[in-house]
Every structure is written in structure tokens, then in C-alpha cells.
Amino acid sequence: MLCVAFLRNVNLGQAHSPTRPQLEAAFQQAGAMRATSFLSNGTVVYAVARSKQAQAVADRACAVLKQLCGMSEPAYSHTLRTLADYVAEDPFAAFDASSYAERAVTFCDPAAVASVQLPLVSAREDCVIFRIDGGIAFSITRNVSGKIGYPTPVLEQAIRQPVTTRGWSTILRLVARFG
């Protein structure tokens, strides 16, 4: 079973972030059969025997990384199949491309977002989180007065927990490569 972990605040090789070999090795040490870092932003594709093991492996990998390089950020895991299903569905299809600057996907603890009322709109109205499914939040951002919104702080403020965001184009590339 291929799974994807999205680690928060990782920039490979920078302070308190692992190198690519360290990141991949941490997932294997944590129980993944194999692991491949995708891009440099803390996105890891890894194999586990059962999907129920995915988050536990990601959590153990984070513990390894904390000891190894001081990284103390969470990871959120989903199956590659789940992401491929969203790509096939295209949750952004209802939006005209001229109505947004960017499309984004934010990963978080599913229990933390269970009571979030949608749409969740930023104070500047430059970010609209319009859908949340099982710890995956979909949003569009807009350019307001020369600044483009970003969903991470909007959702973190709403749930008081850390989250991590990837652009929809990253998800499309990820599924195209590994799906």
C-alpha cells in the first residue's frame, strides 16, 4: 500500500530539517518497506503492508527525525489512492480559474477539523477553505491588494493546531508520478 506523508515546515537540508537520505531512512527505520522523498518540502511516498499503519509509521519517523536533526513538526498521512481519487474528482472544478490565484490542499488532524464551519474565509477574504474531508482541506486563494492568501494560518487559527499545505499542482504531480 502506497501512502504519502506531508510533514510540516520541512525544507530539506535547512536548519532543523533532514537531508533527503535522512528523511527516507527515518521512514524506513519507522517501519516503511520503502520511502521516497518527493520534492524538497517534506512530502514522502512510502510503502506499508496495511493503510492502518500509515499514520503510526509517519509518527515514528517524526520521532526519529526529532532525535536526528531536532525537527519537531507533525506529519499527516493519506493513501496515494485517496489522493488519486481526489485528482480524478477535481474538487476545484466548480471554480472558474479567473476567480482564484491558487488552489491548495491542507493536511491536518481529522478530529480537529470536525467542527469547522464551512466555508472558512480569511479576514482579508483572500483565502476560502470550502471543503474538508478526513483531515484534507481544499481551498482557493485570491490576490487582494497585491497579496495572495494562504490557508495554513487560516486553518491553524480556527483549530489551534499545526497544519501543512501543498499546492494542488504538487498533488497533481505526485499522483502522476506515483499513482
pLDDT digit string, tens, across residues 39-77: 999 999 999 999 999 999 999 999 999 999 999 999 999
CATH of the domain at 26: 3.30.70
- Which of 82, 112, 141 lies at the terminal end of a domain, its last residue? 82
Greatest Cα pair distance in the chain: 49
- Which of 82, 103, 124 lies at the terminal end of a domain, its last residue? 82
Q: What angle do CA 37, 41, 42 make, to 5 degrees?
A: 55
Residue 178 inside a domain? The answer is no
List for the chain the helix, strand, coil content (%; round to 5): 35, 30, 35
Residue 108 inside a domain? The answer is yes
Residues 107 and 162 in one domain: yes
Integer Cα distance of 64 and 58 in angstroms: 10
Residues 95 and 140 in one domain: yes
- Domain of residue 151 covers 90-168
CA 57 → CA 15, 63, 79, 104, 162, distances in Å?
A: 23, 10, 13, 25, 19
Residues 101 and 48 in one domain: no
3-state secondary structure of 143: strand
Residue 177 inside a domain? The answer is no
Kindly state the average pLDDT of the residues 2-14: 95
- Which of 36, 59, 82 lies at the terminal end of a domain, its last residue? 82
Q: What is the pLDDT of residue 173?
A: 98
Number of domains in the chain: 2
